[in-house]
Structure 1
């Protein structure tokens, strides 16, 4: 059985785009509840980002009823093909001013497949997806498929084609937190 080490899957880059001249001084190790800060020097608006990962654990009781729980991943963790991980991204506006038009781009880690329709976010954020490494984002990615009869048809992109997801937050109120979650499965 093949084993995949999360530490060996590469660093998960968290790219924050804000419409003002913000900067990210650094992104901490996400496997240790890392934190990144986006700050507008002029107005002192500040967003603190925290990315956490959990592994789905399925168990059966004595009657054979299956239940699910999520176990926090800490340090170097080994996962197996087929394991499902849930990422939680918290964006906290620590300032006393609202932040407008915040965009958060999250790549799907190498060796993982996005679990379709698993993304959710609090507030009125828009979720879009990329299948081309983050160059283009749409709500429902599609691909062109050539059928056996030679006809080309547009179909929904398969889960394995997803490379990134983007959260567009029109407004993050002062002293509030926006929470987004999504799931991936180990290849």
Structure 2
């Protein structure tokens, strides 16, 4: 069976919707919810993709108890170092056919750092990560570290070196939705 990939569409969706990264630190010109349609020519299956972003904010109730909530990012939004953003990628199969082997690559935007273990997805999907600009993906990235005594050890990669997240979804049934989310932190 031929493998069908939407990898570049996910990357383009994120790159096209994150114009704030190259602007003045602390000020983000963010987007309204956007969508794109991906089509599998072989089966005419269509997946409509939508990328949303939210900023984590701390709120205090009348009793003084603090809690965290997610505030949708719209228009001009101020982000500061340490702020956490949650990206949600929603894929809707609008066709009458199952779409098989859907692969989505999402880059971690420049100026941001992936929040380890924050990725989750509906369905029976596999999540892998890249630390080399999207050239290779593994479930648990590692790096080689040279110790003071000259020995080289392999250790889990730090969050600062993650560059991409890959979501591999075996199938998306007709007329269903798949959601994936992950968090990043402003450096």
Tell me the TM-score normalised to structure 1 length: 0.84
| CA distance 1:27–1:156, change in 2 (3 Å) | closer
| CA distance 1:132–1:46, change in 2 (3 Å) | same
| CA distance 1:60–1:94, change in 2 (3 Å) | same
Which structure carries more helix by proportion? 2
Q: Could you give the per-residue CA deviations for residues 7-28 of structure 1, whole angstroms, max 9, x where no partner exists?
A: xxxxxxxxxxx6179x96x859
Match of 1:19 in 2: 4
Q: Could you give the per-residue CA deviations for residues 150-187 of structure 1, whole angstroms, max 9, x where no partner exists?
A: 11000000000000000000100000000000000000
| Displacement of 1:80 | 0.5
| CA distance 1:118–1:176, change in 2 (3 Å) | same
Match of 1:45 in 2: 45
Structure 2: gaps of 5 or more residues: 18-30
Moved more, 80-89 or 26-35: 26-35
| Displacement of 1:132 | 0.4
The whole-number CA distance in structure 2 between the counterparts of 1:140 and 1:171 is 23
Match of 2:166 in 1: 166
User: What SS does the aligned partner of 2:74 have?
Assistant: coil
User: What SS does the aligned partner of 1:153 have?
Assistant: strand
Match of 1:149 in 2: 149
| CA distance 1:34–1:127, change in 2 (3 Å) | same
| CA distance 1:36–1:139, change in 2 (3 Å) | same
Find out whether 1:116 has 2:128 as its counterpart: no
1:100-111 alignment, distance < 5 Å: 100-111=100-111
What is the count of residue pairs matched by the alignment? Answer: 168
| Displacement of 1:62 | 5.1
| Displacement of 1:64 | 4.2
1:56-71 alignment, distance < 5 Å: 56-61=56-61, 63-71=63-71
Structure 1: gaps of 5 or more residues: 1-17
Find out whether 1:127 has 2:127 as its counterpart: yes
User: What SS does the aligned partner of 1:100 have?
Assistant: strand
Over the aligned positions, Cα root-mean-square deviation in angstroms equals: 2.1
The whole-number CA distance in structure 1 between the counterparts of 2:182 and 2:172 is 20
| CA distance 1:32–1:80, change in 2 (3 Å) | same
The whole-number CA distance in structure 1 between the counterparts of 2:97 and 2:110 is 37
| Displacement of 1:59 | 2.2
